[in-house]
Chains A and B, each alone.
Chain A
Amino acid sequence: MWASGREDRAMSAPGFTNLNSSSSSSQDSTPNGGAAPLYQNGPAQTYPYMHTPSGYYGAPPQQQSYPTIPAHSTPAPNKAPIMNRSHSANYYQNNQQHPLPQHHVASSAYSAPPSSAPPSQPYTTLHYSAPPPSNAQFNQQSFQQQNPPYATPGSYCGQQSYHTPPAQHSQQQQQQPSLVPAPAGGPGAPLYPIVSYPSAPRSSHYGTLSSYQSASTLGVLPTQTGAPLHQYSTPRSASTQPGHSVAPSSQPTVNGSTAAQAIVPRHYDQSHQASLSYDSYSGASHSSGGADADRPPSGTPSASVHSSPGHHQEFEKGACHLTFIVCYLFPPHPPPPPPPPDGYVANSGASSGSVTASGPAAAPSSSSSDDDDDEEEDEEAGGDTSSSTTGSASPVLNSFDSLEGGSFPDSLPPSSDMTNQAQPYSSYSYPSMQPAYQQRPSSHTESSPSHNQYGQPGYQQYSQPFPSLSQLSAALGGLSGVPELEVEALRPVNLLQERNLLPPRPLEAPEPNLSPDLKKVNCSPQTFRCTLSSIPQTQALLNKARLPLGLLLHPFRDLQQLPVITSNTIVRCRSCRTYINPFITFLDQRRWKCNLCYRVNDVPDEFMYNPVTRSYGEPHKRPEVQNATVEFIASSDYMLRPPQPAVYLFVLDVSHNAVEAGYLKFFCESLLENLDKLPGDTRTRVGFLTFDNTIHFYNLQEGLSQPQMLVVSDIDDVFIPSHDSLMVNLKESKELVQDLLTSLPTMFSQNRETHSALGPALQAAFKLMSPTGGRVTVFQTQLPSLGAGMLQSREDPNQRSSTKGVQHLGPATDFYKKLALDCSGQQIGVDLFLLSSQYADLASLACISKYSAGSIFYYPSFHYIHNPAQLEKFQKDLERYLTRKIGFEAVMRIRCTKGLSIHTFHGNFFVRSTDLLSLANVNPDSAFAVQMSIEDSLADTSLACFQAALLYTSSKGKRRIRVHTLCLPVVNQLSDVYAGADVQAITCLLANMAIDRSISSSLSDARDALVNAVVDLVTAYKSSVSNLQQSGLVVPAALRLFPLYILALLKQKALRTGTSTRLDERVFAMCEFKTQPLQQLMRIVHPDLYRLDNMSEQGALHLNNTVVPQPPLLHLSAERLSRDGAFLMDCGDAFYLWIGKCCNEMFIRDVLGCPSYASVPPNMSHIPELETPLSERVRAFFDWLQDNRAFSSTIHVVKDDASAKATFFQNLVEDRSESASSYSEFLQHVQLQVSK
């Protein structure tokens, strides 16, 4: 897959004829090119607004390609029978033995299907019909029903044939009026709305029990075009019209030479003026409606709220986004196709509308975009017609909340500054815009394509000839030291004497010692981080340093700004396939030298043209070479098959245990709420599957009056009862899905079945999903006890606190692993939610997610009444989970400079080859770690580079490549290695290695290895670097926290011994270590402790008119606590607010809203919104802490006398606990080991 895209497509000469054509021609990007970003990932949905101004060309009318019919998914109808055939016989047998004669063979329903399925094909009859005797309720129900509602052949057909228009369905329905009445009759009926099983012998196999009548109107799905449109278009009435006329009217003074130019400036203007930049923005520049319509309706309102600048700090990041638009050379977009009714269409219509407005004359040639059914074709078409490059940078928003936060330049300070800037913008002369841009931190001034768009006089000043930073890079790299920093990092610290090691603010990643130019473009440490920010030259030097070398990657992180590049030719090195990046060297205008393998490559013609400056011969100014993180829209070369739609399958445990835990109701509520926010497009498909000791499928085919449940009780040989109707298009069958979700919780509330056939359910899920791939979400509440994948309890509760080894950390069976590998092969990712109060053998179950690149969530002792904290966490997690971005069919390759090689990967994935990870799904919350080794000396280079390229299909069905490149200096001195050591990254990598060790060897081994890491470091430092013959433990300042972090690691649930730890919780903690991004992991390992009751304004941040106090970090020790204070511990997934007994009454009153300490409720889990200044400050601080994390944390108010304080105190890692030593004891132990 990866390799398939090898050939750089040479740019055809003709393309350049267009170069100097008016901007209008440039506006029209290749349809897909331009459009793609718009639809791609969740956040990207917002883009349309941003792009339009710059003529983000016509969005490819994707809608057309995927009209409501899920055409792509049509497996030939006859496929189904084939699958079933094998089972049928078997199953039939079973049925025969049933006490209830279910000889359905003769049933009219089947014999007659027009689809020519032979009657003997037991398809429907057998499978659906047999409710196992044990399942009393089912039987009951089914028998109460005499009418085979679904029996008519027609209906059956309808189900199968994909394309049956809704109308037909309705007819069918009408033909079978008998169906409807049945439901109400049965006493138990209400609970089981949908059982479609046999009723009287011979009558029919499809008893549809419609206990519950859905009011759904057939087939007609609400199209949401209207509402969102209006919502956004408000500010200017003129602007609401799709695009076209807007620009001129709103800005009459515009003197831009082309309409396109006019549009853009206006757009700036607006965004700056108004605090509701969003509205004005979208309204004006973009035929807003269309874009909005693209988004799920329910999402819009909230999104819009967030997007308004000044909302709150979160906003600051979310809202200010850079819109780079670089699109040139493209002939104007053809007039938009008549918008079809659904949202998508509107969108494209709108955006294209704006384009046309910008381009005076629409060039006829580029008709490609209209018919978008096939992405590749599109891509090709675009290439042929224009054969040019489109580079565009667009922001990637953080989350759905900030989706629409599409105001302008990235880091423009939101409020006051903007208004100031408005002036220059409105004047439209390019140079005057400059100042505003310079404020952007990233400050790639020249590269911001939006400028280029009006590549006006001002431009020359930037188009300096050749020597750019990329050329200088090699020369400068690694040489320009930052001596002060280095000296500070190397200052020897005697740990036994210095007690206050923590910096006042949370640690930042050390800056690599690079030239300023390189530093500026280097990859963000949040995305890409190396344990040693100065790479040792040889393995020998690395060994001497006794530090692990590795990378910590968070490749699919939600980004606030991401240049998206659409180009016919993705420029890559011919030999190592590295993507062009800021650290390559241009030898001259026509050649560049790869920074990983040093091969000299030609610069393709197309690349010579810089869309940013609209000038030829400036390859070094292209966005690819100006940004270390870029995203390419990939062509069909990068596809093995056409991009699949987003497909979500939910596999729900409905056994008695699950009903007891009560998660189902909350899951359904959450999904109902977020149904429209599921990332995807019009092709998105969903399915549901529930299981206890049988597996229940749900037929949600559009046209049914209500969901229909199909039960498969043959768990030894699972089959899929119907192939077309179980995974349905969300848009088309939305009402059915909603019906199902509303009724599911009650359907099973009486379920007494205690067994759980998870394995077979997963097998069914696999079969259901294999044609398309997608995401399977599994909810499980107990140990699987039936069928394949059955597990035994392995935990011995008496061993929970054993100090000896911990058994059973590995899987008990390879069933889940094998299934996961199968899933991975079919591009299915499995996410596991385990809500078990008993031991459920997570060590085995986790394999299903580990190797299919899924995520694992665990809620020990989940109960909807007894454990409100877990419930709240579950709900919050679920919301994030459902709405976060997702990439499908992904692979990630990590390349590194020749001489370095990858040793081991950590995380959830399948390692496909030495440097290639196969990720069925990729989500923005999972991170990876990579151990590296140095195979050849790096002596002949001064820079080492790492490139992670993630190729994925976005939820909008576009193939994209996200490329991160990290550049680090190579050093040959041990002291430099220590100076560049990143203690947090080292800790995380060691944690990963320790987890591996504890599974493959034993826990005590892993613990010893961790302690030895500290001992080794101290020894190595002592013997090699520090010449001072100090006694005591001396480490370089850069690593002064290392022993503390290691001690904290040893006290983590995953690695601790002696403290009672349930096996599942331990295993889950291990899984977390493997997948959590660095910041989150560090907060878990070493929580941040702040004192809240006496926060001062000193050093406070001022964000959006809120003051965020910055209290200093405290050491995690009880001696730092005082009875008269209130302390906040930030553990990553939870906040603990500890209130001392004599805590300031004012704090309790003003912040907690309670009159006195005694009246603070014991289980308080939120901070009331009080109007007092103190409360505001505390809440601002909380919000600020929450800001950057994906899953919102729960707040626990812990009183000093409450039993809950145990959790709090157990996080004070510097103190001695019942079974682990204190920090000073640990240091002494290390010292003893060193002096041995």
Chain B
Amino acid sequence: MAFTFAAFCYMLTLLLTAALIFFAIWHIIAFDELKTDYKNPIDQCNTLNPLVLPEYLIHFFFCVMFFCAAEWLTLCLNIPLLAYHVWRYMTRPVMSGPGLYDPTTIMNADILAYCQKEGWCKLAFYLLSFFYYLYGMIYVLVSS
């Protein structure tokens, strides 16, 4: 049992995934608030937009870590999400600041539903990957 870089990676990602789960929940709540008319879309977008890039960067950071640690399987699991993030950010509406959400279109039922669905899917993904990282960490710790 040794404390390898891979184990360190997993431990760190565990923490960070917890943060990502929080982000996902935050998004879901935010969109739900929009849908139920509690918040002004402008305010909501202003609070959500700054969170987008950090989330993406954290996830990108994982991938780099796993790449360095040569955890290929884990990396492969994360690549699709990474690609999705890249695509999502490339196709964002024209805006000067960082972020994805445009207050003028966010209330469109399709977009709102999409964002909500995206939130749930990410939440599920992060939850599953949280347990996977937990397992991975123990596995790495035990096996090495």
Binding site for B on A (CB under 8 A): 810-815, 817-818, 821, 825, 851, 901-905, 910-916, 933
Contacts and interface: CB of A to CB of B under 8 A. Distances in A.
B104 A911 contact: yes
11 contacts: A815-B96, A821-B42, A825-B42, A903-B108, A903-B110, A904-B108, A910-B104, A911-B108, A912-B40, A913-B40, A914-B109
Contacts of B42: 821, 825
A933 B95 CA distance: 30
Contacts of B34: 913-914
Interface string B1-39: 000000000000000000000000000000000110100
B37 A913 contact: yes
Contacts of B95: 814
Sort chain B's interface into a size bin: 10 to 19
Contacts of B128: none
A933 B109 contact: yes
Given A814-B96, A851-B104, A915-B37, 8 more contacts: A810-B94, A813-B94, A814-B94, A818-B96, A905-B107, A910-B103, A911-B41, A914-B109
A813 B96 contact: yes
B96 A912 contact: no
A1214 B57 CA distance: 55
Contacts of A818: 96
Contact of A902 (B96, B103, B109): B109
A335 to B, nearest CB: 48
A745 to B, nearest CB: 37
Given A814-B95, A902-B109, A903-B109, A914 B104 contact: no
A1166 B110 CA distance: 49
B57 to A, nearest CB: 22
Contacts of B107: 905, 911-914
Nearest to A996: B108
Contacts of B93: 810, 814
Interface of B: 34-35, 37, 40-42, 93-96, 102-104, 107-110
A913 B104 CA distance: 11
A193 B59 CA distance: 63
**Chain B facing A: main interface SS:** loop
A953 to B, nearest CB: 20
Nearest to B37: A913
A811 B94 contact: yes
A1102 B34 CA distance: 55
B94 A812 contact: yes
Contacts of A810: 93-94
A913 B37 CA distance: 6
B108 A817 contact: no
A816 to B, nearest CB: 11
Contacts of A901: 109
* Dominant secondary structure of chain A at its interface with chain B: mixed
Contacts of B40: 912-913
Contacts of A912: 40-41, 107
A914 B35 contact: yes
Nearest to B39: A913
Contacts of A911: 41, 104, 107-108
A349 B16 CA distance: 74
A915 to B, nearest CB: 8
A912 B37 CA distance: 8
Nearest to B91: A1000
Contacts of A814: 93-96, 102
A821 B103 contact: yes
B96 A914 contact: no
Contacts of B109: 901-904, 914, 933
Contacts of B102: 814, 817
A848 to B, nearest CB: 12
A811 B102 CA distance: 13
A815 B95 CA distance: 8
A817 B45 CA distance: 14
Contacts of A903: 108-110
A611 to B, nearest CB: 35
Contacts of A914: 34-35, 37, 107, 109
Nearest to B106: A911
Nearest to A810: B94
A382 to B, nearest CB: 32
Contacts of B110: 903-904
A810 B95 CA distance: 11
A905 B95 CA distance: 21
A817 B104 CA distance: 8
Nearest to A918: B40
Nearest to A933: B109
A776 B109 CA distance: 31
A355 to B, nearest CB: 43
A1146 to B, nearest CB: 57
B110 to A, nearest CB: 7
Contacts of B35: 914
Contacts of B96: 813-815, 818
B35 to A, nearest CB: 6
- A-B pairs with the 4 shortest C-beta distances? A911-B107, A913-B37, A903-B109, A814-B95
A903 B112 CA distance: 10
A915 B110 CA distance: 14
Contacts of A813: 94, 96
A825 B34 CA distance: 17
A936 to B, nearest CB: 15
A904 B35 CA distance: 13
A46 B110 CA distance: 45
A815 B94 CA distance: 10
Q: Which of B34, B35, B96 has the most CB of A within 10 A?
A: B96
A851 B93 CA distance: 15
A718 B17 CA distance: 45
B41 A913 contact: yes
A913 B103 CA distance: 10
A818 B99 CA distance: 14
A916 B34 CA distance: 12
Contacts of A910: 103-104
B109 to A, nearest CB: 4
B42, B102, B107 — most chain A CB neighbours (10 Å): B107
B49 to A, nearest CB: 12
A902 B108 CA distance: 9
Contact of A821 (B94, B104, B108): B104
A100 to B, nearest CB: 36
Nearest to A903: B109
A790 to B, nearest CB: 13
A596 B35 CA distance: 19
A914 B107 CA distance: 6
A813 B37 CA distance: 28
A841 to B, nearest CB: 12
A811 B93 CA distance: 9
A811 B110 CA distance: 21
Contacts of A811: 94
Nearest to B38: A913
Contacts of A851: 104
A348 to B, nearest CB: 39
Contacts of A902: 109
Most buried by A among B37, B95, B96, B104: B104
A1134 to B, nearest CB: 32
A906 B37 CA distance: 19
A933 B108 CA distance: 12
Contacts of B104: 817, 821, 851, 910-911
A850 to B, nearest CB: 8
A825 B96 CA distance: 19
A904 B40 CA distance: 17
Contacts of A904: 108-110
A812 B107 CA distance: 22
A1012 to B, nearest CB: 18
A892 to B, nearest CB: 14
B3 to A, nearest CB: 48
A429 B35 CA distance: 58
Nearest to A847: B104
Contacts of A821: 42, 103-104
